[in-house]
Amino acid sequence: MRLLITGGAGFIGSNLVRAATLHRTVTDIRILDDLVTGRMSNLDGLDVETIPGSMLDDEALDRAMTDRDAVVHLAALPSVPRSLRDPIASHHANATGTLRVLEAARRHDVGYVVVASSSSVYGANPVLPKTELAWTRPLSPYAVSKLATEAYALAYQASFGLPTLAFRFFNVYGPAQRHDHGYAAVIPRFVDAALRGEPIELHGDGRQSRDFTYVETVCAVLLDAVERSVSHPQPVNLAFGARAELLTVVSELEQIIGRPIARRHVAPRGGDVRHSEADNRLLRSLFPDVVPTPRMNGLRATVEWFETHVLKQRA
Ligand code: NAD
């Protein structure tokens, strides 16, 4: 199985490259990444062919797609706040970028494409847990661009018979997730501040909740999908219904780090949803063999990664 991972130098992408190098059916891994948020150092020591370039560039995309059996399309400009600042850039990367990847896959006779959508598509729908048939009402340009991502993937399945799968990732966390830019996600920001002995910043009261999924679990699902070419006509939630309030995560980090963590409350952010939890019945029926990593184990591995890769580099 010759695999292309777009966004392969990013957080989830580089973890997927690492997992794929150990996988029984993946023989050859190529990534396409323009390094806008990804880092080559995430791939240190891994056997992977790298195409540094953008999926918005014809030549780079053509090179990337040549002789591939399957594509895991992760490249995107993630982050709600980034899309509030530059909605057009988010649209280009996430909506147009996905359409270009699907079209290139079709032209190159690639047999299977997985795309990454997001739980943010549920937006203003307050019902918990979120089933895939629940109505969607995106609250941010990012969420709209992810709705386009999944809609294009499913339309290529319906219109052209291209086997595709559109996952709605919830809050993924783990090693290599960036803490060091303005759009950083909550767990890397918490871990970094906690290890430096600084207060963690909570938007609002900290009682908002998310369905956190450890990146290794996400990669196990992605590789199972690729191995069996699992295709489905609806989007599939990729989270296991392990919802936790942010304050709970802070307490868990206190247990792992072994000391109290100070909290600083700041204004809530526009475009953020209050609670998020996946209905995971469809996921479990399609991927019965994947066992999710418990949050305490995932958080512990994340803290260890930060200790060796971030703290030591600063020292
Ligand atoms: P990331 O920013 O670490 O990875 C995205 C990668 O795409 C980066 O390496 C970046 O350099 C690359 N990229 C961006 N634009 C590109 C372009 N035009 N051409 C080539 N490469 C480009 O983010 P991540 O957290 O690993 O997210 C991966 C995917 O999962 C994204 O599609 C994101 O929307 C989706 N997702 C992530 C989460 C999460 O919790 N991390 C949640 C929901 C959805």
The Å distance, Cα 67 to ligand 1 centre, comes to 23
- Cα separation, 146 vs 144, in Å, equals 5
Query: pLDDT per residue over 50-106, tens digit each?
Result: 999 999 999 999 999 999 999 999 999 998 889 999 999 999 999 999 999 999 999
| pLDDT at position 313 | 72
| pLDDT at position 198 | 95
- Cα separation, 223 vs 23, in Å, equals 8
**Distance from CA of residue 111 to its chain's centroid?**
22
| pLDDT at position 311 | 80
CB under 8 Å to 270, separation ≥6 — which residues? 84, 140
| pLDDT at position 150 | 98
Residue whose Cα lies nearest atom 44 of ligand 1: it is: 118
Are the C-beta atoms of residues 213 and 170 closer than 8 Å to each other?
yes
Q: Which helix (H) or strand (E) holds 117?
A: strand 112-118
| pLDDT at position 315 | 65
The reply to whether 2-171+214-238 and 173-210+242-309 are identical in fold is: no
ipTM over 0.85: yes
| pLDDT at position 274 | 87
Which residues of the chain have a pLDDT value below 50?
none
| pLDDT at position 79 | 86
The Å distance, Cα 52 to ligand 1 centre, comes to 15
| pLDDT at position 270 | 67
Q: Which residues line ligand 1 (CB under 6 A)?
A: 6-7, 9-13, 32-38, 54-56, 74-78, 93, 97, 116, 118, 169, 171-172, 185
| pLDDT at position 73 | 98
Ligand 1 pocket mutation pick from 37, 72, 140, 142 by most atoms within 8 angstroms of CB: 37
Q: Which CATH superfamily is 2-171+214-238 part of? A: NAD(P)-binding Rossmann-like Domain (3.40.50.720)
The Å distance, Cα 255 to ligand 1 centre, comes to 30
Architecture of the domain spanning 173-210+242-309: Alpha-Beta Complex (3.90)
Residue whose Cα lies nearest atom 2 of ligand 1: it is: 37
Task: Give the residue extent of every domain in the chain.
Answer: 2-171+214-238, 173-210+242-309
Residue whose Cα lies nearest atom 6 of ligand 1: it is: 7
The Å distance, Cα 176 to ligand 1 centre, comes to 12
The dihedral region occupied by 95, where left means phi > 0, alpha psi between -120 and 50, and beta the remainder, is alpha
| pLDDT at position 281 | 98
